[in-house]
C-alpha cells in the first residue's frame, strides 16, 4: 500500500492518524492506544495484528485492508452514524480522550456488547433469523462484496452453515467462485476448509475443480493454520503443504534423556483425551501463543513511549464468557509456563495432532521433515528471513536460556513435578487436570472459599488454578498494585522478611471470605444492586489484610500474592461500579457478573496463598 494512501488512514475507534494495528475479525485499523484496549478484550472479541511487524498471509492482510477501505467500521458504529437512531449520551472516542475510562468504555461497548450494531427486528424464534441470515451469507459470498458478508456475520450468520437445499457451505460457494478474500473472511469466523458437501467434496476440492489453484493452496494452509502457527512459534518454519508436507514436529535438544514416569503419564493423559477435549486444549494453547507473540511485537514497537508504562502487556488470556469458569482458569494458567515448559506442551500437542490425523503411527508417506537448528521462538537468520516473517523474538527474553530445538519426533524434557507453593513450575499434568475437570464455576468457587477458612491448616496449591504472575512478570508488565502502593513499593529501603502472625492472617482471610460469600449469594440471586456495597466491604477487608504485611516483603510469593489481592479488589470494585452506574441490559449484566465472579475468585485465591505461605514460614 502506498505511503500516500496510508497517510489517509485513521484509527477506526478514535480517528487518530496512521494506525499501525489491525483487528482481523472486525476489519478495521486501530492506533496503539486503542490496540492496548483491544488486546485486553481477548481474541474472541478482537484479533489484533501489527500491520508491519506481525506475520501475515498476504491475502488475509488484503482482506482486512479491503474491508477497512470499504467502510466496515460503519457496521460496528451503525447507530452512532444514523441520525434517526439516537443513542443517549453516546459519542465516538477521539484521540484526546483518556485511555481509561473514555476509550476503554467506548471500545468495550462497540466490540464486546455490540452496542452500536444494527439490530434485526425481534422475532419469536431467533433460530429462524439466524437461518435466514446464513442463507443470505451463502448467496453473498459468490460476489466480492466483503462488507455485506461481514455485516451478515456480525448479525449472527453462521460461517459453517450447511444449506439444506444446496447441500454445501458458504466456503464451498466462495471456493467455487474463486473469491479468495471471501474465503479469508469466512475462515476468520471459523469456516472449515475440510467440511464435506452432500457429495463428500471439500471447499478445497471445489477450488481445484474450478481451476483456482492459488485459492486451493491457501485453503490447505488455513486447514493447518493451528498446527502451522505452533510450529512457527517454536522454530520459525512452516510445513511445505504444496509438496505434501503437513507437519513439522520440533524436538527438544535434550530428547536423549529418558522420560520420567511423570512425563510419560502426562503424555499418556494427553493422548487419552477425546477429540473434542484435545481440540479445546489445542485452541487454548494457540491463543496463548498469539498472546505471547503479540506481547513481543507490542514491546518491540512501543520503543520507550509512555504507552509502555501506561498500558501494559496482557499478563494472561482474558476471560471468554462463552467458556466455562474452569476452562478460563486453565487458559490463564498457561501464562505461568516457562518458555521450556510451554515449548514441551506445544511439541506434545503437535505430535498428538499428527497422530490423530494419521493414526497411531506418526509416520505418513507424505512426510519429509527437514532438520532445523533454531532456538525456541527465535527468528530466522537475517540472510534467509523473508519480508513477511515477524521481526521479533516470540519468547520473552527474560526467560531462562532454552536449549535448541530440532525437527523430528516429539519428546518431553523429563522434568519432575514440584509441589513448592511459589516456585514450582506449572506442569502439563496439572493443566490436563484442569482441562478434564467438569466442575461448575460456582461449585469451584465455593470449594475454594471453603479452603480459605483453613482453621490454621497449611494446604499446598498443586491442583488449584494460579493466576498470580511471578515477580519477574510483575516487573515486566507493570505493577498491578494501586498507584499509591506501587509508589511505596518502589521507595528505597531494605526488604523485610518478617511476616505477620498466622492467626491474624487467617482472621482477615475469614473476613474476606465472608464478604465474598455474600457477594456470590447476591450474584446467584441476581441482586445486582448489592454488588457495590459488597465490593466496598471486600476492599476494606483486603486493605486491612494487606496492612498486616511489610511494605517490601522479601518473599516473591508474598509480593505476588499481595499484588494479586489488591489489584483484583480494585478490578472487582470497578466492575461492581459498572453494574451500579450504567444499569446494563440483561445480556451485559451477565458478562459483568462473570467478571465479578472471576475477580472474587482471584481475591480468594490470593488470600489463601497468603495464609498458606504465612503458616508455612511461621512453622519453620
Residues 32 and 72 reside in one and the same domain? yes
Residue 459: inside a domain? no
Tell me the C-alpha distance between 469 and 438, whole Å: 25
Can you read off the three cell numbers belonging to residue 139? Answer: 448467496
Residues 271 and 344 reside in one and the same domain? yes
Bridge partners (DSSP) listed for residue 406: 251
Can you read off the three cell numbers belonging to residue 564? Answer: 494479586
CATH number for the domain spanning 88: value is: 1.10.220.150
Residues 72 and 161 reside in one and the same domain? no
Residue 191: inside a domain? yes
Looking at the structure of the chain, the number of domains it has is 4
What is the model's pLDDT at position 523?
79
Tell me the C-alpha distance between 530 and 517, whole Å: 12
Contact 111, 25 (CB under 8 A): no
Task: For residue 473, give the H/E element and its range.
Answer: helix 471-477
Closest CA to 318 of 537, 571, 121: 571
Residues 92 and 60 reside in one and the same domain? yes
pLDDT in tens, 316-369: 999 999 999 999 999 999 998 888 888 889 999 999 999 998 764 344 434 433
Residue 334: inside a domain? yes
What is the model's pLDDT at position 538?
92
Highest mean pLDDT pick, 227-241, 424-438, 450-464: 227-241
Of 1-15, 63-77, 187-201, 312-326, the range with the lowest mean pLDDT is 1-15
pLDDT at 464 over 60: no
Residues 140 and 232 reside in one and the same domain? yes
What is the model's pLDDT at position 395?
31
Domain span at residue 602? 502-618
Tell me the C-alpha distance between 57 and 36, whole Å: 23
CATH number for the domain spanning 232: value is: 1.25.40.20
Closest CA to 417 of 429, 435, 403: 429
Residues 139 and 97 reside in one and the same domain? no
Residues 139 and 101 reside in one and the same domain? no
Task: For residue 50, give the H/E element and its range.
Answer: strand 48-50
Residue 349: inside a domain? yes
Residues 613 and 507 reside in one and the same domain? yes
Closest CA to 600 of 532, 525, 526, 512: 512
Residues 288 and 225 reside in one and the same domain? no
Average pLDDT over residues 283-289: 96
Higher-pLDDT residue of 181 and 81 is 181
Residue 118: inside a domain? no
What is the model's pLDDT at position 123?
57
Instruction: Specify burial of residue 41 (Cβ count, 10 A radius: 0-12, 13-18, 19+).
Output: buried
Tell me the C-alpha distance between 354 and 352, whole Å: 5
Average pLDDT over residues 235-263: 77
Residues 550 and 608 reside in one and the same domain? yes
CATH number for the domain spanning 521: value is: 1.20.120.330
Tell me the C-alpha distance between 517 and 526, whole Å: 14
Bridge partners (DSSP) listed for residue 49: 22
pLDDT in tens, 471-499: 333 333 333 333 333 333 344 457 777 88
Place of cell 503458616: 615
Contact 379, 348 (CB under 8 A): no
pLDDT at 151 over 70: yes
Work out the angle between the directed axes of helices 126-140 and 146-155 (0-180°, nearest 10): 170
DSSP secondary structure of 276-342: HHHHHHHHHHHHHHHHHHHHHHHHHHHTTSTHHHHSPPP-SPPP-TTS-HHHHHHHHHGGGS-HHHH
- Which residues are within 8 A (CB) of 582 and not within 5 positions of it... i.e. 6 or more apart? none
Of 112, 141, 167, the residue that ends a domain is: 112
Higher-pLDDT residue of 405 and 96 is 96
Distance, first Cα to last Cα, the chain: 65
Residue 287: inside a domain? yes
Average pLDDT over residues 142-153: 96
pLDDT in tens, 433-443: 433 433 333 34
Residue 365: inside a domain? no
Of 300, 329, 356, the residue that ends a domain is: 356
Can you read off the three cell numbers belonging to residue 206? Answer: 471445489
Residues 53 and 149 reside in one and the same domain? no
pLDDT in tens, 16-25: 999 999 999 9
- Which residues are within 8 A (CB) of 5 and not within 5 positions of it... i.e. 6 or more apart? none
What is the model's pLDDT at position 253?
64
Percent of the chain with pLDDT over 90: 42
Angle of CA points 458, 461, 462, to nearest 5°: 125
Mean pLDDT of the chain: 75
What is the model's pLDDT at position 510?
85
pLDDT in tens, 496-542: 778 888 888 888 888 898 888 888 888 777 788 888 889 999 999 99
Contact 147, 75 (CB under 8 A): yes
Residues 222 and 315 reside in one and the same domain? no
Tell me the C-alpha distance between 391 and 519, whole Å: 47
Length of the chain: 620
Tell me the C-alpha distance between 610 and 616, whole Å: 10
**Could you tell me the pLDDT band of residue 125, with boundaries at 50, 70 and 90?**
low
Of 338, 356, 374, the residue that ends a domain is: 356
**Could you tell me the pLDDT band of residue 400, with boundaries at 50, 70 and 90?**
very low
Residue 87: inside a domain? yes
Amino acid at each position: 500500500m502506498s505511503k500516500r494512501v496510508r497517510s489517509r488512514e485513521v484509527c477506526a475507534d478514535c480517528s487518530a492518524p496512521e494506525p499501525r494495528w489491525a483487528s482481523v475479525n472486525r476489519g478495521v485499523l486501530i492506533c496503539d492506544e486503542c490496540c492496548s484496549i483491544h488486546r485486553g478484550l481477548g481474541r474472541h472479541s478482537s484479533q489484533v495484528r501489527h500491520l508491519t511487524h506481525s506475520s501475515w498471509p498476504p491475502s488475509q492482510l488484503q482482506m482486512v485492508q479491503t474491508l477497512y477501505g470499504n467502510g466496515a467500521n460503519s457496521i460496528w458504529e451503525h447507530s452512532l452514524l444514523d441520525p434517526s437512531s439516537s443513542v443517549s449520551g453516546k459519542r465516538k472516542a477521539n484521540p484526546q480522550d483518556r485511555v481509561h475510562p473514555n476509550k476503554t468504555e467506548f471500545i468495550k461497548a462497540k466490540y464486546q456488547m455490540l452496542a452500536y450494531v444494527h439490530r434485526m427486528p425481534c422475532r419469536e424464534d431467533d433460530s429462524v433469523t439466524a437461518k435466514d441470515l446464513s442463507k443470505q451469507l451463502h448467496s453473498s459470498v459468490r460476489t466480492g462484496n466483503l462488507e455485506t458478508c461481514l455485516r451478515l456475520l456480525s448479525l449472527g450468520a453462521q460461517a459453517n452453515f450447511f444449506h439444506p437445499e444446496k447441500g454445501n457451505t458458504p466456503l464451498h460457494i466462495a471456493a467455487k467462485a474463486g473469491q479468495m478474500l471471501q474465503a479469508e473472511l469466512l475462515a476468520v469466523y471459523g469456516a472449515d476448509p475440510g467440511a464435506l458437501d452432500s457429495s463428500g467434496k471439500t471447499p478445497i476440492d471445489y477450488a481445484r475443480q474450478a481451476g483456482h489453484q492459488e485459492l486451493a493452496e491457501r485453503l490447505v494452509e488455513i486447514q493447518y493454520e493451528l498446527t502451522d502457527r505452533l510450529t512457527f512459534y517454536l522454530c520459525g518454519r512452516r510445513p511445505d503443504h504444496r509438496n505434501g508436507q503437513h507437519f513439522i514436529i520440533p524436538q527438544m535438544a535434550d530428547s536423549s534423556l529418558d522420560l520420567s514416569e511423570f512425563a510419560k503419564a502426562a503424555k499418556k493423559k494427553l493422548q487419552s483425551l477425546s477429540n473434542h477435549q484435545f481440540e479445546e486444549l489445542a485452541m487454548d494453547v494457540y491463543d496463548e501463543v498469539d498472546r505471547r507473540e503479540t506481547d513481543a511485537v507490542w514491546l518491540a514497537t512501543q520503543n520507550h513511549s509512555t504507552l509502555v508504562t501506561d498500558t501494559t502487556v496482557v499478563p494472561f488470556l482474558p476471560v471468554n464468557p462463552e467458556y466455562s469458569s474452569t476452562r478460563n482458569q486453565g487458559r490463564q494458567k498457561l501464562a505461568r509456563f516457562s518458555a521450556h515448559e510451554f515449548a514441551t506442551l506445544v511439541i506434545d500437542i503437535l505430535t498428538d495432532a499428527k497422530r490423530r490425523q494419521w493414526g497411531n503411527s506418526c509416520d505418513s508417506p507424505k512426510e519429509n521433515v527437514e532438520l532445523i537448528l533454531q532456538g525456541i521462538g527465535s527468528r530466522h537468520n537475517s540472510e534467509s528471513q523473508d519480508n513477511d516473517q515477524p521481526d521479533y523474538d516470540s519468547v520473552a527474553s527474560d526467560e531462562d536460556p532454552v536449549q535448541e530445538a530440532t525437527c523430528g519426533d516429539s519428546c518431553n524434557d523429563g522434568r519432575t513435578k514440584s509441589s513448592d507453593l511459589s516456585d514450582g513450575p506449572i506442569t502439563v499434568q496439572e493443566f490436563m487436570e484442569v482441562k478434564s475437570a467438569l466442575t461448575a464455576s460456582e461449585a469451584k468457587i465455593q470449594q475454594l472459599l471453603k479452603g480459605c477458612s483453613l482453621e490454621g491448616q497449611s494446604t499446598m496449591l498443586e491442583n488449584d488454578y494460579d493466576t498470580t504472575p511471578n515477580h519477574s512478570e510483575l516487573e515486566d508488565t507493570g505493577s498491578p498494585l494501586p498507584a499509591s502502593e506501587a509508589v511505596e513499593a518502589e521507595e528505597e529501603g531494605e526488604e523485610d522478611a518478617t511476616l505477620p502472625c498466622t492467626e491474624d492472617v487467617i482472621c482477615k482471610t475469614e473476613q474476606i471470605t465472608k464478604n465474598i460469600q455474600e457477594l456470590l449469594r447476591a450474584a446467584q440471586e441476581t441482586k445486582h444492586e448489592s454488588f457495590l456495597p459488597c465490593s466496598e466491604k471486600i476492599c476494606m477487608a483486603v486493605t486491612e489484610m494487606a496492612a498486616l504485611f511489610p511494605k517490601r516483603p522479601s518473599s516473591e510469593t508474598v509480593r505476588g500474592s499481595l499484588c494479586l489481592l489488591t489489584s483484583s479488589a480494585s478490578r472487582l470494585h470497578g466492575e461492581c461500579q459498572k453494574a451500579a452506574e450504567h444499569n446494563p441490559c440483561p445480556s451485559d449484566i451477565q458478562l459483568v457478573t462473570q467478571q465479578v465472579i472471576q475477580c472474587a475468585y482471584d481475591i480468594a485465591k490470593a488470600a489463601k496463598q497468603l495464609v498458606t505461605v504465612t503458616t508455612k514460614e511461621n512453622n519453620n
